[in-house]
Amino acid sequence: MKAKVYVTLKPSVLDPQGSAISHVLESMGYANVKDVRQGKYFEIALDENLNGTVREDLERIAREVLANPVIEDARVEIEGDTTQGEGR
Amino acid sequence: MKFGVVIFPGSNCDHDAYHVISKHVGQPVDFVWHRDTDLTSFDAIVIPGGFSYGDYLRAGALASHSPVMRSVKDFAARGGFVLGICNGFQILCEAGLLPGALVRNENLHFVCEHVHVLVETTETPFTANLTAQQILHLPIAHAEGNYVCDEATFTELTRDDRIIFRYCDESGNTNPSANPNGSHNSIAGICNRTRNVLGLMPHPERACEDLLGSSDGSPIFRSLTSTLAAQAAR
C-alpha cells in the first residue's frame, strides 16, 4: 500500500530552477515547451492495515513537513483510494 | 547572561558563533545539541548557519522539527532572545517563528561575498547599539536567501517596523542592483511581532574582527549583551 505526495511551488512563487530548465529546452529546439515548474514527488509506504486516520495523517504530513504552505501546495494520492481528496 | 549555540547535524558556523560570544563579546556560552530540550539556563539562543540535515527537503525544514526547536519555540514565547543566522534564519521561518520563507536565489548562484546592509531600525535587542540607516559591511554565503512572503505579511512587516536589515550599496541605496539574491524588497533580516526573535541571512559572527575584513557584526552581539544586562539590572 502506497501513498504519493506531489509538492509544487505556488503559482505566485518564482521558480528560477524551472525557468532555467525551460530555457535549456528552448535552446534545444523544443518549441512546444512554454514553461517548466519544478516540484517534488514522494512515495510513502503504508501499513497494509490502514486505520481511519490515514488520509488525515498524510494531509498533515504533507502540510507540516513535506511542503511549506507559505510557498508550496501539496496533493496527496492514496493507491486504491477512490475517494481522492485534494490536499494542499 | 548565558548564550546557547544550537548544533544540528550539518551546522558549520556554530564554532564561529561560540568563538565570537566567548572570546570577543566575553560572555558565557554553551553548545546545545539538537536533541537537547532544556534551555532553562540560557538568556539567548543562537541558531547558527550551515546546512542542517544537508538541506534535505528544503533548507531548514528538517531542523525545524527537531526536539530542540520545540524548546526554542517555548523559549521564544517566554520572551527569550533568539538569533537565527543564515541557515538559522531559514530554520526560524520553517519553524513558524518568523513569517515568510527563503527560496532559491533568483540568479540560482550560491553567493559568497561581502555585501552592504542597511540597518532599518534600532528598535530591537539585536540592533540597539547601532544607528538607524547605518551601513554594515557583512559577508553572505547562501543559495537560498531570497526572502518571499505574501503581501499581507509584507504590509504587516513594514507597518510594524519589523524589517531590520536590507541589502544596499555602499551609499545605502537599496536599489535592485545591490540585491544579491532577489529577496523581496531587498530584505536581509526581519524580526517577530514581539521583537525577541531575529533572523538574517548575512553572517555577523564572521565579521567581528578587523582581521577578517570587517568587524561590523560585533555591535549586533554587543547590542544583545547590553540589552540583557539592562534587563538584569531592572
Q: Residue A10 in contact with residue B149, Cβ under 8 Å?
A: no
Determine the average pLDDT of the residues in B62-66.
96
* Nearby residues of B173 by Cβ (< 8 Å), 6 or more positions away: none
C-alpha cell at A29: 529546439
Radius of gyration of chain B (CA): 16
Identify the closest residue of chain B to A21 by CA–CA distance: B108
Q: What is the mean pLDDT of chain B?
A: 97
The span from the CA of B226 to the CA of B30, in Å, is 19
Q: What is the pLDDT of residues B18-60, one digit of tens each?
A: 999 999 999 999 999 999 999 999 999 999 999 999 999 999 9
CB contact under 8 A, A66 and B57: yes
pLDDT band per the 50, 70, 90 thresholds, residue A88? very low
Q: What residues of B act catalytically? A: 86, 203, 205
Is a pLDDT exceeding 90 seen at residue A79? Answer: no
Distance from CA of B106 to the nearest CA of A (A): 6
Nearest to A70 among B100, B108, B182 (CB): B100
Record the pTM: 0.93
CB contact under 8 A, B106 and A16: yes
Q: What is the pLDDT of residues B124-173, one digit of tens each?
A: 999 999 999 999 999 999 999 999 999 999 999 999 999 999 999 999 99
Is a pLDDT exceeding 70 seen at residue A56? Answer: yes
Determine the average pLDDT of the residues in A67-88.
80
Please tell me the predicted confidence (pLDDT) of residue B24: 93
Q: Residue B222 in contact with residue B207, Cβ under 8 Å?
A: no
Distance from CA of B195 to the nearest CA of A (A): 21
Nearest to A71 among B65, B103, B182 (CB): B103
Distance from CA of B81 to the nearest CA of A (A): 24
CB contact under 8 A, B105 and A16: yes
Identify the closest residue of chain B to A71 by CA–CA distance: B101
The span from the CA of B47 to the CA of B43, in Å, is 13
Is a pLDDT exceeding 80 seen at residue B194? Answer: yes
Least confident of A13-27, A63-77, B90-104: A13-27
Determine the average pLDDT of the residues in A16-39.
94
pLDDT band per the 50, 70, 90 thresholds, residue A85? low
Q: What is the pLDDT of residues B203-223, one digit of tens each?
A: 999 999 999 999 999 999 999
Nearest to A65 among B65, B99, B148 (CB): B65
Identify the closest residue of chain A to B57 by CA–CA distance: A66
